[in-house]
Amino acid sequence: MNSTTNSQLLKGSLSVMLLRLLEDREKMYGYEITQKVKELTAGKMTITEGALYPALHKLEAEGLLTTETQVVDGRARKYYSLTKTGQTKAVGRIAELNAFLENLNLVLNLKPSL
Amino acid sequence: MHLTHEQARQIDSHLRSNLTKVQWWHQDEFVAELTDHYITGISERMERGMPFEAALQDVFAGFGKRAGLERLELNYRMLRAKEDRRAMMRLMVSYFGFPRLFISLPLITLLFQVKTIVPSFLDYGYPLLLITNGMGLLAWLFKNRLAHLGKFQAAAQRLTAPFRKAFNWGTLVFAIELFSSPLLTGTSSPYVATFLYTISILFSLSLTKLEKTYTLRRRIVN
């Protein structure tokens, strides 16, 4: 997939992806998230750092994510995890995106009229 | 793969040269997050055989180079500033509830009493302005003209903070007295002055408290 197209398609769904990943794992740090997405999509989808961190910071400011700092290999590492509100919102937003994708599929798979 | 001390230093200077030079409260926390991302990303790329410099540039490109880093910093600063404003407001409001009311109530009473006895400090406006500006001038001299102070440089540097504080408070007192003067507010002058002084002192107390919290957090990050 073209990287520009990829990033444009990602824009609206990035925060939901982050919520879903953090719903699955107790806590994750920025670099780990980029690698997890790459691994899950076999390298077909990449999240750039320039898109990831603003999204994480925004979710944190909205109160959906909380952070904790741990010392790993002698340096500070910031871990993100879902707050109680984040857990509730994640379920709703994932369902919303799923419903949207189903509808999008209906339109994209439109059979040509006879 | 563990990076060498020199490579870690290169990452640090790379980040510092590509971020704004402005000092802000959460800067260390922000830089620490980026540093960790850079070190992890570069180590992984080097394990795959990429040279250090190319790996550094690759991670840099992922952030959208200099413009991307600056945008990220600005965005984070704005988000945190909003949070700080909310925290400040919560702290200030807490002075009107238990147990901090035991600080604010005597403070308000004392300020009102002082304002009733001394209606306006503007009667002492000339010496007040002179002292305030003197403090400001000394603070500026000690901060920016240290070279002229020879062996007194260290002592002068230590003196800068209280002088600047005295200048700020002196200016504030002057402004409050001006805006709450009987000429502008009539008979409600002592009430307006007490209100403005209370807000200023509570703001200062809250700011110090918040700053202390962040200094503690910064120590953990570093």
Q: What residues does B56 pair with on adjacent strands?
A: none
Q: What span, in angstroms and rounded, lies between the C-alpha atoms of B114 and B131?
A: 21
Asked if residues A80 and A29 have their Cβ atoms less than 8 Å apart, the reply is yes
Chain A CB contacts of B67 under 8 Å are none
Q: Which residue has the higher pLDDT, A23 or B162?
A: A23
ipTM of the shown complex = 0.85
Q: What is the CA radius of gyration of chain B?
A: 25
Tokens matching residue B19: 């971020």
Helices (H), ranges, B63-188: 65-94, 101-117, 125-144, 153-179, 182-185
Helix (H, G, I), strand (E, B) or coil at B172: helix
Question: Any chain B CB within 8 A of the CB of A6?
Answer: no
User: Average pLDDT, whole number, for chain B?
Assistant: 85
Given this model, what pLDDT does residue A89 score? 92
Q: Please name the residue that has the structure tokens 């995890």.
A: A81
* Interhelix angle A14-24/A3-11, nearest 10 degrees: 80
Tens-place pLDDT, residues A38-59: 999 998 888 889 999 999 999 9
End-to-end CA distance of chain A: 32
Contact yes or no for B76 and A49 at CB 8 A = no
Q: Starting at the edge strand that comes first in sequence, how are the strands of the sheet with A75-82 ordered? A: A28-29, A75-82, A65-72
Asked if residues B167 and B132 have their Cβ atoms less than 8 Å apart, the reply is yes
pLDDT of A12 strictly over 90? no
- Virtual CA dihedral for B90, B93, B97, B98, nearest 10 degrees? 50
Q: Which of B2, B63, B75 sits opposite A49 (nearest CB)?
A: B63
Given this model, what pLDDT does residue A6 score? 63
Q: What residues does A71 pair with on adjacent strands?
A: A76
Question: Any chain B CB within 8 A of the CB of A67?
Answer: no
Chain B CB contacts of A79 under 8 Å are none
For the ranges A63-72, A105-114, B48-57, which has the lowest average pLDDT? A105-114
pLDDT of A4 strictly over 60? no
Helix (H, G, I), strand (E, B) or coil at A48: coil
Q: Kindly give, in sequence order, each residue whose CB lies less than 8 Å from that of residue A81, ignoring residues fewer than 6 positions away.
A: A22, A26, A27, A28, A65, A66, A67, A68
pLDDT of B222 strictly over 60? no
Tens-place pLDDT, residues B177-216: 888 888 888 888 889 999 999 999 999 999 988 888 877 6
pLDDT-based confidence at residue B162 (cuts at 50, 70, 90): confident
Q: Which of B68, B83, B221 sits opposite A76 (nearest CB)?
A: B221
Phi and psi of A77, rounded to 5°? Answer: -125, 130
Helix (H, G, I), strand (E, B) or coil at A81: strand
Distances (CA, A) of B210 to A65, B86, B91: 21, 11, 8
Asked if residues B136 and B167 have their Cβ atoms less than 8 Å apart, the reply is yes
Per-residue pLDDT, averaged over A26-32, amounts to 94
Given this model, what pLDDT does residue B107 score? 92
pLDDT-based confidence at residue A85 (cuts at 50, 70, 90): very high
Contact yes or no for A31 and B41 at CB 8 A = yes
Contact yes or no for B32 and A76 at CB 8 A = yes
Contact yes or no for B79 and A60 at CB 8 A = yes
pLDDT-based confidence at residue B146 (cuts at 50, 70, 90): low
Question: Any chain B CB within 8 A of the CB of A63?
Answer: no
Asked if residues B53 and B29 have their Cβ atoms less than 8 Å apart, the reply is no
pLDDT of B221 strictly over 60? no
